[in-house]
Chains A and B, each alone.
Chain A
Amino acid sequence: MSSDVILVIVVGTALAFDFTNGFHDTANVVATSISTGAARPSVAIGMASLLNFVGAFISISVAATVANDVVNADVITPTIVFAGLIGAIAWNLITWYFGLPSSSSHALIGGVVGSAVAAAGFDAVIADGLVGKVLVPAIVAPILAFLVAGLSIGIAYRIIGKQRPGIVNRGFKHGQIISGGLLALAHGTNDAQKTMGIITLALIANGSLGANSDPPLWVIASSAAAIALGTYSGGWRIIKTTGTRIIKMDAAQGFSSQGAGAAVILASTHFGFPLSTTHVINGGVMGAGAAKRFSAVRWGVAGNIVFAWLLTLPAAAAIGAATYGISRIFGTGALGPLLITLMALSLVAAVFVRRAQRVAPVSAAGG
């Protein structure tokens, strides 16, 4: 009974994490299409939301990696998964509060690894899986997207030559409907699967599923719905900030950056690598920008991304480990996770209120 209560809390927390993942990443998925004028914000966001949902159904390789290849399912309990999720959500909130661009995916894996180590020692971690399927692809993928986008835009500019700019712009804007759609599909399939993998891990740990099981349909459908709803909700905020926060690029650069991002994410997903889609998409945008004019890229932003990435895994792991330790103070039952959930909800509410109070005077002055 007690473990079922924890399982319900874990599933709810994981879906909340998935929602915030979609909310966070809407900007990455639709920014390029909106920036180049290829799609109206409402159309871009609606399409991204729908394709995120569809994308979640096309593969389960990443879910299998998260559920079976990162931590040893034999020593994992629902409480460990819960503590890992709290580590990831807490780190996401901290980085969101301070405006640091971080990876939700790496926070999730870091949180679960940290809580697993706190509970069962380093034997709980599958080093081969963590290094080979998470850490190395995490480094390779954004660099690959940067190079692919840079190379493809260079070749595209040569092919187009001195064609009329009007035709070229219109052509690539139409093309961005395909490349933007593919990027949203890729985002949905890689990111939603991490939540599927975490819920599946909790179900295996609870004994509700056998070892090495695939995610059940209800897990896939609920993860797909959560990320799609998050994408749709997050998108409306972007409409207001599109003009100021997005790098200005032409339609050809938009097409090549989206194409590179989609190609890298889809290829990685096929082999079960859980990537940071944020890093890959940013790598593609920077590659397309740098190929045209090196100074067009905000290298300071790139530095912040690297800094936040280096911090993410250990910080989320530390919070996950601490959460597990606090939970154990209240025993092995559901009391610890319940109290921590209540504390976390109170903290989130306080952070949002504080943030709103900071923003309000600025808005008033501006209005």
Chain B
Amino acid sequence: MIATLVEGKELMETVVASVIAGVGVTSVFAIAIWGVGRFVDLSRDERQLAAGGAAAVAALALAAVIAAVVFGIIVMTRK
């Protein structure tokens, strides 16, 4: 009875989507900031190769955040 009253599947999908989007975006954005921080430190130490790697991590993470936001908005507009 409760199962029919409560939109169980949709509610569960809401929970899963919220956790993935909320935790995922914040975590990946934190990786981007970590990458920027490491890039600044490593550049100062003149370790160019490692600094380049940190910058690439930061850029990829930032791109992933922007992609996730755009994807979320597209999904919203499609229903």
In the assembled complex, the Cα of A137 lies from the Cα of B7 at a distance in Å of 9
The secondary-structure label for the interface of chain A is: helix
Chain A residues within CB distance 8 Å of chain B = 58-59, 61, 127-128, 131-133, 136-137, 140, 144-145, 147-149, 151-153, 155-156, 159-161, 163-164, 167-168, 171-172, 175, 178-179, 182, 185, 189, 252, 255-256, 259-260, 262-264, 266-273
Check A152–B23 contact: CB distance below 8 A.
yes
The secondary-structure label for the interface of chain B is: helix
Which residues from chain A contact B72 at a C-beta distance below 8 Å?
182, 266
Known A-B contacts A61-B79, A178-B65, A270-B75; A168 and B7 likewise in contact (beta carbons under 8 Å): no
Q: For the complex, is B18 an interface residue (Cβ under 8 Å from A)?
A: yes
Known A-B contacts A156-B27, A267-B17, A271-B13; A148 and B22 likewise in contact (beta carbons under 8 Å): yes
Known A-B contacts A137-B11, A159-B34, A161-B34; A263 and B75 likewise in contact (beta carbons under 8 Å): no
What are 29 pairs between A and B in contact, CB < 8 Å?
A58-B76, A127-B5, A128-B5, A136-B11, A137-B11, A148-B23, A159-B30, A159-B31, A160-B33, A163-B34, A167-B33, A167-B36, A167-B40, A168-B37, A171-B33, A172-B29, A175-B65, A182-B69, A255-B29, A260-B26, A263-B21, A263-B22, A264-B14, A266-B76, A267-B13, A268-B14, A270-B76, A271-B11, A271-B13
In the assembled complex, the Cα of A260 lies from the Cα of B15 at a distance in Å of 11
In the assembled complex, the Cα of A155 lies from the Cα of B22 at a distance in Å of 11
In the assembled complex, the Cα of A163 lies from the Cα of B66 at a distance in Å of 23
Which residues from chain B contact A189 at a C-beta distance below 8 Å?
76
Q: Would you give the shortest CB distance from B58 to chain A, in whole angstroms?
A: 9
Q: For the complex, is B10 an interface residue (Cβ under 8 Å from A)?
A: yes
A-B complex: 3 closest residue pairs judged by Cβ atoms: A163-B37, A152-B26, A263-B22
Known A-B contacts A178-B65, A263-B21, A267-B21; A156 and B14 likewise in contact (beta carbons under 8 Å): no
Select which of B13, B32, B76 is within 8 A of A171 by beta carbon.
B32
| Sample of 14 further A-B pairs with CB below 8 A, known A163-B37, A262-B22 | A58-B77, A131-B6, A151-B23, A152-B26, A155-B30, A160-B37, A163-B34, A178-B66, A264-B18, A267-B13, A268-B18, A270-B17, A270-B79, A273-B11
Which residues from chain A contact B40 at a C-beta distance below 8 Å?
164, 167
Q: For the complex, is B56 an interface residue (Cβ under 8 Å from A)?
A: no
Check A133–B7 contact: CB distance below 8 A.
yes
In the assembled complex, the Cα of A137 lies from the Cα of B8 at a distance in Å of 10
Known A-B contacts A148-B22, A263-B18, A271-B10; A171 and B27 likewise in contact (beta carbons under 8 Å): no
Which residues from chain B contact A156 at a C-beta distance below 8 Å?
26-27, 29-30
Check A263–B25 contact: CB distance below 8 A.
yes
Known A-B contacts A159-B34, A267-B17; A132 and B6 likewise in contact (beta carbons under 8 Å): yes
